[in-house]
Amino acid sequence: MTDTWVIVGASRGIGLEFVRQLLQNGHHVIAGVRNVSKADRLLELKSHCTTPERCIIEECDITNEESIQKFANRVGDAAKEGLKVKNIVLNAGILQYPNRATELSFPEFALHLHTNTIGPIICAQKLVNLDPESPPSKIVFISSDSGSTTLFRDDEDGFGAYGASKAALNQMLRHMAAELTRRGGKWSDTCVLAMHPGEVQTDMANIDLGWEVKGSIQPDESVTGMLKVIEEKDETGSFWCWDGRLQYD
């Protein structure tokens, strides 16, 4: 069977860069995007593959349970045809700025939680349970140091809902890691990781903030570092920075 990476949230930014580098390194990729017809850069990337079947593009709206289930079913079908899901990266997320606790509406808060917490966890749940005889090696959630409660950054004005959604994600993925370990058997070999990608210059980060963002990096530098960390780290339930530093929640 051919080892395959599943990247959810692959149409732009960090997710797109994951697909680019993985294809460049010879891997097979199943890329999940909210709207395939609007994933122009991903479709162009696939068009340059000498063997297009190495990049499968499927719809996955992380805020829609039915869409998540259909995506998981298609990943399962691909596995039956000879692709082995080795690693899963849950990258889909949203940042609607500002999202202050003293100002945001119920729907605005709910959108951050649905997109950044609930959707990624449910999607990972569906994918990890596809094949009890061959669960994935690693499940990686793209989190953020904005969700750190230990190192709370009170200068990040307007990141209330975003930070809360990432903090909730970190807690849930730790439960997922512990539950898989308790299942025993091959499940206990699945490693669940959280990753802080750094202050990456992407479309989502293209907002006018009221403070200086230090240490900004490009998506290629972030993903190169994260791929190295993903390969090296095997402490399930742990939280790492893109450059290999242990990140505290």
Mean pLDDT of 184-209: 83
What band does 164 get if pLDDT is binned at 50, 70 and 90?
very high
Q: What three-state secondary structure class fits 139?
A: strand
In three-state secondary structure terms, 195 is strand
pLDDT at 214: 63
- Token pair recorded at residue 164: 């809360």
Q: How far apart are CA 32 and CA 49, in angstroms?
A: 17
* Fold for the domain defined by 2-241: Rossmann fold (3.40.50)
pLDDT at site 188 = 95
Distance of alpha carbon 28 from alpha carbon 217, whole angstroms:
26
Beta bridge partners of 209: none
pLDDT tens, residue by residue, 8-65 = 999 999 999 999 999 999 999 999 999 999 999 999 999 999 888 899 999 999 999 9
Confidence of residue 66 (pLDDT cuts 50, 70, 90): very high
Instruction: Write down the pLDDT at residue 248.
Output: 65
Q: Which two tokens stand for residue 39?
A: 């994933």
CB 29 within 8 Å of CB 57? no
> CA-to-CA distance for 197 and 143, rounded, in angstroms?
8
What pLDDT does 208 receive? 62
Which whole number is the average pLDDT over 74-103? 94
Is residue 22 within 8 Å of residue 49, measured between CB atoms?
no
Residue in the block written with tokens 């609007």:
38
The rounded mean pLDDT for the chain is 92
Residues in the chain: 249
Mean pLDDT of 217-228: 96
Q: What is the mean pLDDT of residues 94-113?
A: 95
Q: What is the pLDDT of residue 150?
A: 82
pLDDT band at 1 (very low <50, low <70, confident <90, very high): low
Residue 243's Cβ-count burial label (10 Å; 0-12, 13-18, 19+) is middle
Query: How far is C-alpha 1 from the chain's CA centre?
Result: 24
The CA-atom distances, in angstroms, between 132 and each of 69, 73, 97, 192, 211 are 17, 15, 40, 16, 47
At 37 the pLDDT is 94
Condensed to tens digits (0 to 9), the pLDDT of residues 114-162 reads 999 999 999 999 999 999 999 999 999 999 988 887 888 777 888 899 9
Which pLDDT score is estimated for 207? 56
Burial class, 208, CB count within 10 angstroms (exposed 0-12 / middle 13-18 / buried 19+): exposed
Predicted local confidence at residue 134, as pLDDT: 92
- Please tell me what DSSP assigns to residue 6: E
Instruction: With beta carbons less than 8 A apart as the criterion, state whether 200 and 14 touch.
Output: yes
Sequence-ordered alpha helix ranges (H) in 48-197: 65-80, 106-113, 119-128, 160-183
Report phi then psi at 189, rounded to 5. -85, -10
User: How would residue 212 be classed by pLDDT, with cut points 50, 70 and 90?
Assistant: low
Q: Where are the domains of the chain?
A: 2-241
Residue 114 per-residue DSSP state? I
Indicate the pTM of the whole model: 0.93
- Is the model's pLDDT at 211 over the cut of 60? no
**Rounded CA gap, 126 and 90, in Å?**
12
